[in-house]
């Protein structure tokens, strides 16, 4: 997703190829895709914590019951809190 976003930003701004992606992001004051995902997930968890429904509030645990062992090194939504 970050690659597609960088290519799109480069085409929208009509910037030359020698301008780095970091320069584009800083000039346009944009966050990386990973930063946006982490902040969105954290705000989602905050809303779940303060939810009036106790069943939804109970979903806010850090570990999932019956959590299967992970065989791949991939990032899960609940890993964004770390």
Q: Tens digits of per-residue pLDDT, 19-35?
A: 898 898 899 999 988 88
Mean pLDDT, to the nearest integer, of 49-76? Answer: 73
Q: Which two tokens stand for residue 4?
A: 């597609």
Q: Give the global pTM.
A: 0.60
Q: What percent of the chain has pLDDT over 90?
A: 13
One-character DSSP codes across 9-77 = HHHHHT--TTS-HHHHHHHHT---HHHHHHHHHHHHHHHHHT-S-HHHHHTT-SS-TTPPPP-S----G
Contact between residue 45 and residue 27 where contact means Cβ atoms under 8 Å apart: no
Please tell me what DSSP assigns to residue 6. H
pLDDT, tens digit, for every residue of 32-57?
888 898 888 888 888 888 889 988 88
């Amino acid at each position: 997703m970050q690659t597609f976003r960088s290519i799109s930003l480069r085409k929208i701004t009509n910037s030359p190829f020698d301008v780095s992606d970091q320069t584009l992001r800083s000039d346009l004051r944009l966050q990386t895709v990973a930063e946006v995902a982490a902040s969105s997930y954290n705000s989602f968890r905050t809303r779940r914590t303060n939810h009036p429904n106790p069943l939804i509030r109970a979903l806010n645990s850090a570990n999932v019951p019956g959590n299967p062992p992970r065989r791949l090194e991939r990032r899960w939504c609940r890993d964004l809190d770390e």
